[in-house]
C-alpha cells in the first residue's frame, strides 16, 4: 500500500506541475480549454484596399511590413503607402511578388493596439495565422475567408507550435504584465472544421 500511495502522490505532483486539473478541487486553468473563432474580421467591413488576388505593384510591395519566414510560400501584412490600415497578402515566390489575400485586418486609429497584427505564421500556400497579444486571425483557403478569435483583456505571447504528424498549432504564453504564472504556457491545435483552437497541453510552472 505504501508504494501505491507514493505512486499516487507522484502522479498528483506531475499533474500539478503540468497544470492538469485531475484532482477534485484543483484550480481551473488560466488558459481556456478552447478558443472559438467567429467568421470574418472585425474591420473587414470598414474598407477593402484591393480585390482578393490583385497583384501588388513594385511600389505597393514596398509596404509589406511584416512577413512569415522561410520557403517560397509566404504571407505578410501590407500597409497601403504606409497608411493606418493593415491587409493580408501572400507570395508564391519567396516575397518577390505579392497578391492581396483578404480584407482589412486592422487600423491603428481604431483599436489598433488591440487588433494590430505583430506576428505572421505561414502554413503553406493556403493557410496562415496572424496574431498580436489579443487576437488570432486565421485562413485555410488562401485568404478567401478569415476567422478571428479575440480576447480583449489578454496579454499573450503567441508563437508557432509545430504539430507532430501535421496540423496547425500555437504556443500561448504570458507577455509583459499578463496575469498568468510566469514561465507557464499552453499548446493549442486548430480544429479547422469547428473553427476553434483546442488546448492539447499546458504547463503552469
Q: Which domain holds residue 106?
A: 31-203
Residue 112 and residue 65 in contact, taking contact as beta carbons nearer than 8 Å: no
Mean pLDDT for 177-203 is 93
Report if residue 22 sits inside a domain. no
Going by C-alpha positions, the residue among 49, 44, 59 that lies closest to residue 100 is 49
Q: Is residue 37 part of a domain?
A: yes
- 75-96 confidence digits (pLDDT tens): 999 999 998 899 999 999 999 9
Instruction: Read off the pLDDT band of 3 (50, 70, 90).
Output: very low
Cell of residue 127, nine digits: 493557410
Q: How many domains does the chain contain in total?
A: 1
* HSE-up (13 A, CA, CB side) for residue 27: 9
Place of cell 477534485: 24
| Alpha carbons within 13 A on the beta-carbon side of 125 | 4
Q: Does 16 reside within a domain?
A: no
Question: Has residue 20 been placed in a domain?
Answer: no
The pTM score is 0.84
Contact 204, 28 (CB under 8 A): no
> If 0-12 CB within 10 Å is exposed, 13-18 middle and 19+ buried, where does residue 76 land?
buried
Does residue 186 fall inside a structural domain? yes
- At 111 the pLDDT is 56
φ and ψ of 16, to 5 deg: -65, -45
Query: Three cell numbers at 23?
Result: 484532482
pLDDT higher than threshold 50 for residue 4: no
pLDDT in tens, 132-164: 999 999 999 999 999 999 998 888 999 999 999
Q: Which three cell numbers stand for residue 29?
A: 486553468
Specify if 1 maps to a domain. Answer: no
Please tell me the distance from the alpha carbon of residue 154 to that of residue 108, in angstroms, as a whole number.
Answer: 18
Overall average pLDDT of the 173-196 stretch: 92
Asked if residue 21 is part of any domain, the answer here is no
What are the DSSP calls for 111-169, one per residue?
A: SHHHH---EEEE-SSS-EEEE-SSEEEEESSTTSS-EEEE-TT--EEEEEEEPTTS-EE
Residue 7 lies in a domain: no
* Rg of the chain taking only CA atoms, in angstroms: 20
Amino acid at each position: 500500500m505504501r508504494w501505491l500511495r507514493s505512486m499516487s502522490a507522484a502522479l498528483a505532483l506531475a499533474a500539478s506541475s503540468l497544470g492538469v486539473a485531475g484532482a477534485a478541487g484543483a484550480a481551473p486553468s488560466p488558459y481556456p480549454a478552447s478558443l472559438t473563432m467567429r467568421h470574418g474580421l472585425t474591420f473587414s467591413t470598414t474598407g477593402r484596399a484591393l480585390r482578393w488576388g490583385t497583384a501588388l505593384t513594385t511600389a505597393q510591395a514596398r509596404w509589406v511590413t511584416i512577413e512569415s519566414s522561410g520557403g517560397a510560400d509566404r504571407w505578410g501584412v501590407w500597409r497601403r503607402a504606409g497608411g493606418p490600415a493593415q491587409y493580408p497578402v501572400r507570395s508564391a515566390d519567396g516575397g518577390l511578388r505579392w497578391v492581396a489575400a483578404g480584407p482589412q485586418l486592422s487600423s491603428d486609429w481604431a483599436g489598433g493596439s488591440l487588433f494590430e497584427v505583430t506576428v505572421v505564421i505561414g502554413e503553406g500556400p493556403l493557410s496562415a495565422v496572424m496574431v498580436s497579444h489579443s487576437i488570432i486571425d486565421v485562413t485555410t483557403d488562401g485568404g478567401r475567408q478569415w476567422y478571428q478569435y479575440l480576447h480583449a483583456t489578454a496579454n499573450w505571447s503567441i508563437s508557432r507550435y509545430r504539430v507532430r504528424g501535421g496540423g496547425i498549432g500555437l504556443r500561448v504564453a504570458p507577455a509583459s504584465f499578463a496575469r498568468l504564472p510566469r514561465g507557464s504556457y499552453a499548446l493549442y491545435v486548430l480544429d479547422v472544421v469547428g473553427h476553434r483552437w483546442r488546448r492539447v497541453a499546458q504547463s503552469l510552472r
